[in-house]
Amino acid sequence: MKKILAFTSIRSDYDLMSSLYFLLQEDPNVDFKIIVSGAHLSHSFGYSIEQIKKDNFDILLEIETLLSSDTGLSRVKSASLLLQNSLETIAKFNPDLMIYAGDREDVLMYAMIGGYLNIPTIHFFAGDHVTDGYIDNPIRHATSKLSTAHFVTLDEHKKRLVHMGEDTKRVFVTGNISLDKFIQFKPLEKMKLKKYFDIKNNFNDFALMIFHPLTEEMESVDIYFENILKNLNQRGISTFVSYPNVDPGNQRLLNVIDKYKGNKNFIFYKNLDRDIFMSIYKHSNFIIGNSSSGICEAASMKIPAINVGLRQTGRYADKNVLFCGTSFDEIGQCIETATSQDFQNSLKNLNNSYGDGHSAVKSYKIIMEVDFNSMIAKVEDPLKVKLI
């Protein structure tokens, strides 16, 4: 039996990786387990561990790490709790491989644990780069330097890792694994969505809004958030609006949500069943906010994605993505462009550069075939790595 351990601390990274998790779980030669922490165990953020249990995954450990605070200090403390409370369990389970995804502080902890315990590790979504100045960017790169292997989305990401001194044999271009479920999923009918949310009027056509706080925009993040809502409301655009994640500054956004909760144009949600969320996504006329989903996934649905503010800037994006400022007028202009017939017609033949919907299978095959133990020792000298 090959023992594989995965980690998840927030609903987004679980949704990104779940298609691979199912493949590993179904393999009789794999003992697959998950450690669950962070927002998954918070009722304030939807208690999404219930979805993991519903999917029948074997949870090795549940760790309460999320502090009731929205500061940078609390994120560091949460990381320390994660490190202290997972270490012994990981050592006892002694997996043959550890896998994690993204750029939050928890993956840095797991990469460090894997290094010190001599356990091979795989970092998904490595090599990406954003110029928004947010801490997640250097966390992602630091995690890569500590990881054994990297599963990346684009050739550009592979080149970046090699320029950072990683040997090409460590880097596997698999595409964006989050696209698999979106491309293959058949959405529920709109009437079923209206029944689920008990909607009597509106929402025959709608948008999807996902907006998270950014440290560099902290002092005005609530203003930017409300500027989006005001524009949508002024145009009578029915919108499903996600609650923010656990980043510092989320309380400012929660305060704005409280102001608009009774507005007939908005439905605010914390955590949704996967089928409900993906059905909303696939039926949306456009997505707006600053989620990476707009950059990586919206192109597969051939819908516009409006990215507001600094977050995600600098990332490769297909032509469906509109980057705009945070003022009321700038956001309004982008909405006008995104909803114009000419712009929507221009997306009809769009192909998503981030993947073809088969990344989970590619990743699964590599995991089962490659000897990652032989890669644990990182002896390559960055000065001598051949650049590509």
Whole-number pLDDT of residue 199: 93
Cα separation, 78 vs 369, in Å, equals 35
Give the pLDDT band of residue 16 (cuts 50, 70, 90).
confident
Confidence of residue 74 (pLDDT cuts 50, 70, 90): confident
Average per-residue pLDDT for the chain: 93
Residue 65 to residues 83, 109, 213, 298, Cα–Cα distance (Å): 10, 13, 20, 32
Q: What pLDDT, on a 0 to 100 scale, did the predictor assign at position 387?
A: 87
176 Cβ contact partners less than 8 Å away, ≥ 6 residues apart: 125, 153, 296, 297, 354, 355, 359
Angle between helices 359-369 and 11-26 (to 10 degrees): 60
The domain locations on the chain are 2-175+356-375, 186-345
> What per-residue confidence (pLDDT) applies to 46?
81
Task: Provide φ and ψ at 36, rounded to 5°.
Answer: -115, 135
Tokens in use for 184?
A: 């293959």
CATH code of domain 2-175+356-375: 3.40.50.2000
Confidence of residue 338 (pLDDT cuts 50, 70, 90): very high
- Predicted confidence (pLDDT) per residue in 99-126, tens digit: 999 998 999 999 999 999 999 999 999 9
Report pLDDT digits (tens) over 146-164: 999 999 999 999 999 999 9
- pLDDT band for position 44 (50/70/90)? confident
Rounded Cα distance, 373 and 384, in Å: 23
pLDDT at residue 68 tops 90: no
What is the pTM (predicted TM-score) of this model?
A: 0.77
- Residue 69 above 80 pLDDT? no
Fold agreement between 2-175+356-375 and 186-345: yes
As a whole number, mean pLDDT of residues 275-287 equals: 95
For residue 276, what pLDDT is reported? 95
In this predicted structure, what is the pLDDT of residue 183?
81
What is the per-residue pLDDT for 23? 97
Of 135 and 33, the structure prediction assigns the larger pLDDT to 33
Quick check: 357 pLDDT over 90?
no
Tell the CATH topology of 186-345. Rossmann fold (3.40.50)
Range with lowest mean pLDDT among 135-144, 239-248, 279-288: 239-248
Task: Characterize 373-384 residue by residue with b for buried, 16 or more Cβ atoms within 10 angstroms of its Cβ, and e for exposed.
Answer: eebeeeeeeeee
SS3 sequence of 247-285 = CCCHHHHHHHHHHHCCCCCEEEECCCCHHHHHHHHHHCC
Please give the average per-residue pLDDT across 166-193, as a whole number: 92
Token duo for residue 160: 């970046």
* Confidence at residue 333, expressed as pLDDT on a 0 to 100 scale: 98
From the number of C-beta atoms within 10 Å of its C-beta (0-12, 13-18, 19+), residue 145 rates as middle
DSSP states of 209-227 as a string? EE----GGGGGGHHHHHHH
Q: Please name the residues in contact with 384: beta carbons below 8 A apart, sequence gap of 6 or more.
A: none
Q: Which residue has the tokens 């500590």?
A: 146
Residue 278 has pLDDT above 80, yes or no: yes
Q: Which residue has the higher pLDDT, 2 or 46?
A: 2
Cα(148)–Cα(171) distance, rounded to whole angstroms? 9
Predicted pLDDT at 153:
94
Q: What is the mean pLDDT of residues 187-205?
A: 93
Which positions ≥6 away from 387 have C-beta within 8 Å? 159, 162, 163
Q: In the chain, which residue ranges form alpha helices assigned H by DSSP?
A: 11-26, 49-54, 72-93, 105-116, 136-146, 155-163, 179-184, 190-196, 221-234, 250-260, 274-283, 292-296, 328-338, 341-345, 359-369
Mean of the pLDDT values across residues 7-30?
A: 94
10 Å Cβ neighbour count for 213? 26
